[in-house]
A and B are shown apart, each in its own frame.
Chain A
Amino acid sequence: MRTLKYHQAISEGTVQAMERDPNVFCAGIAVDYPSGIFGTTTEALKRFGPARVFDTPAMENAFTGICIGAAAMGKRPIMVHPRNDFMLLAFDQLINLAAKWRYMYGGNAGSVPIVVRAVIGKGWGQGATHSQSLQAPLAHFPGLTVLMPATPRDAKGLLLSACRHDHPTIILEHRALYNVEGEVPEEPEETPIGKAAILRPGRDLTIVATSLMVQEALDAAEELARHDVDAEVVDLRSIRPLDEETVLASVKKTGRVIVADTSWERCGVTSEIAALCAEKAFHDLKAPVRRLALADCPAPVSQTLEQAFYPKASTIARLALHVIGIDPELVGDIDREDTFKGPY
């Protein structure tokens, strides 16, 4: 199969979604710039023109409401936030309305199938307001679908699914994944919503991961293999709905779990998975569930502080060895060089 970068896969998914459904449009700050949200909207603009790919003023909350009102009339908007932090301004429309719409009107007002793409930033001094990761607060609310593609194939496949999904859907893309390359089918293949993927099978330990942490987990698993530890990597892909079945089956097989997420631990995705294991796989656990997440402070800017803030492949590998009972200090220098040159 041919390979694409994550951002190319999003671009292709957007074009195919717009091709097959004339009601799909794509809007948000900077979507029609030559830079096209890191190359994800440029092709769609070329193909479908400014009537269907257009810039908006900085108006995150109202534009989310505008997408809802357009969706109520049959449109399929894709709203894009260059950073997911900006979406906090839109929580009223997203949470107080979009998430409730179908239920609160007893099904009589239809549904509002908006798609919101939002990018998680990381590193190069993005800082406290441009590198948060909002999956946990979003997935808290019944009625929202929250997706986190970790591979180019799913970046395209989940976007295509979202554009046909009947619920408001948020796709959190990770800036640090945009240049990751992987196999992507040319046809508009949809990734099922609510299904986790086992990206690497293993017997000794399960690493449940989201987004960028999936790639870090895959690197960690390579290293673990060198120490004869056979790690299974589960890519959650969908935070809500959550694929409990796949996670539990893996945990029951390996008996050991590490959960790695791109956000904080408190009330987060790692807590949710830990609770799931405790409630439904307690007797299969051979070791306590361990969580790996951001340091419990806002994102700093200075390089040394950033280094300390983010967990990475080596952090996962060390914790895994510790869980297995092997000296964590045996982990080699496995972390990828950060090639990001900024600014965003």
Chain B
Amino acid sequence: MSNRLEQKTEMPESWGTRDLRERRVTVHGQALAASVLLDLHRSMQRIRHTEETIARLYPQQEMRTPTHLGTGQEAVAAGVAAAVRRDDALYSHHRCHNHYLACGGSVYRLAAELYGRVDGAARGRGGSVHLTDRDNGFIVSSAILGQTVAVATGSALAFRMDGVDRVAVTFFGEATCEEGVIYESMNFAAINRLPVIYVCENNLYSTESPLSVRQPPGTELCARAESFSVPAEKVDGNDVAAVYLAARRAVDRARSGAGPSFIECMTYRWREHVGPQFDHDAGRTYRTKEEFDLWVERCPLKQSAARLISLGLADEREISAWAAEIEKEVVADFERARRAPWPEAGDLFDYL
């Protein structure tokens, strides 16, 4: 079976004509179908508009669940999710909307979960940080740092025991590299050559703490992984094609029985750690405005759009049209979710 992007057979007209989609292009020295780049871009647009819609509606106090927005980090989720199959197992952390959406998770069910409605991804029992969508291979996210790193390793163990070629993937922030559980997990995965891919989203901060107070100078997280004999690769996490290609290499390795991989994706979160605001609007100074502006300049969607245009795969008008269309859908989903029924108080003990 091929990966998510290569699996797709039919596509709406707005995703580019068939001729165009089948065109081969070269990115980072690799030949890719144009459809891959087009779909990666659409995936990021869907994430961006969902997160930004949440940011807009969140202050209304109707989404009563601590929410860690993934704006600015779309390329990591989109690139990795596109490199795996729907029957693989993906896990995520507290900043999980991107991964849930990149796997194909429903915007409506995410919105319903944020509004605490019974149609939510976790039926209003989980909230923003506890999502699931098993049909799309998004097993769960969890809000305890490092937890799903071990759990993904366990799913990889199950695949190994069953002799199937499925792989497990876990996303986590770089602060998980300060927790012990990841080293126990990588050690075990390396000993047993488990088909698991550790995807570290290094956005330079853990809440408001910079790397400098958390990791010794000169720390290379990839070197830590390599010290367990886990092959590691550091990529520009804002370049969706680079992430996709690195993930594909890791997935190929895992599927062929060669064991685990570690991918460090350098990226940046735009909004505050938890909540919808920008840090400088909230008067926080732990990051400078200059640093923020620099990373906004490196916006993953902007970079991807520029690539599509320079390769002649789309023009600005088309890209904006896709965005408008996606935004309309997203907003409609949020409106519908807001009107969805609440869980019944009498159902408090269901699913125990």
Contacts and interface: CB of A to CB of B under 8 A. Distances in A.
Interface of A: 25, 51, 56-57, 59, 61-75, 92-93, 96-97, 101-110, 142-143
A93 B132 contact: no
Nearest to B182: A62
Interface stretch (B118-126, B258-266, B275-283): B118-126
B130 interface: yes
Contacts, number: 139
A66 B185 contact: yes
Nearest to B343: A106
A280 to B, nearest CB: 20
Nearest to B348: A103
B13 to A, nearest CB: 33
B152 interface: yes
B154 A105 contact: no
A92 to B, nearest CB: 6
Listed residue (B152, B157, B162, B180) with the most chain A CB atoms within 10 angstroms of its CB: B157
Interface stretch (B31-39, B139-147, B242-250): B139-147
Nearest to B113: A106
A74 B158 contact: yes
Contacts of B185: 59, 62, 65-66
B155 A73 contact: yes
Interface in B144-198: 144, 147-159, 161-162, 168, 180-181, 184-185, 187-188, 191
Given A65-B181, A96-B144, A108-B134, A70 B155 contact: yes
A66 B157 contact: yes
A143 B351 CA distance: 10
Given A104-B125, A107-B123, A107-B351, A69 B151 contact: yes
14 contacts: A25-B161, A59-B188, A61-B150, A62-B149, A63-B184, A64-B150, A66-B150, A69-B156, A97-B151, A104-B122, A104-B130, A105-B126, A106-B125, A108-B123
Contacts of B120: 106
Contact of A59 (B121, B147, B155, B187): B187
Listed residue (B125, B131, B144, B184) with the most chain A CB atoms within 10 angstroms of its CB: B184
A96 B94 CA distance: 14
B297 interface: no
Contact of A72 (B130, B144, B154): B154
Contact of B150 (A65, A109, A110): A65
Contacts of B133: 108
B294 interface: no
Contacts of A97: 142, 144, 147, 151
B350 interface: yes
Contacts of B180: 61
A69 B124 contact: no
Query: How large, as a class, is the contact surface on chain B?
Result: 35 or more
A62 B180 CA distance: 9
Contacts of A143: 352
A75 to B, nearest CB: 5
A107 B184 CA distance: 29
Contacts of A110: 134
Given A106-B122, A109-B139, A142-B352, A63 B158 contact: no
A62 B184 contact: yes
B130 A69 contact: no
A99 B83 CA distance: 32
Nearest to B164: A73
B89 interface: yes
Contact of A70 (B131, B134, B158, B191): B158
A69 B154 contact: yes
A167 B27 CA distance: 48
B122 A92 contact: no
Given A61-B181, A73-B158, A103 B151 contact: no
Contact of B351 (A57, A96, A103): A103
Contacts of A71: 154
Given A65-B150, A106-B125, A73 B89 contact: yes
Contacts of B151: 65-66, 68-69, 72, 93, 97
A119 B65 CA distance: 40
B158 A75 contact: yes
Contacts of B150: 61-66, 68-69, 93
A251 B123 CA distance: 41
A312 B184 CA distance: 40
Contacts of B130: 104-105
B188 A62 contact: yes
A69 B153 contact: yes
A61 B183 CA distance: 11
Given A72-B158, A105-B126, A107-B350, 19 more contacts: A62-B181, A63-B184, A64-B150, A65-B147, A65-B150, A65-B185, A68-B154, A73-B89, A73-B162, A103-B351, A103-B352, A104-B130, A105-B125, A106-B123, A106-B124, A106-B126, A108-B134, A109-B134, A110-B134
A51 B157 contact: no
A51 B158 CA distance: 11
A93 B145 CA distance: 11
B351 A102 contact: yes
A212 to B, nearest CB: 30
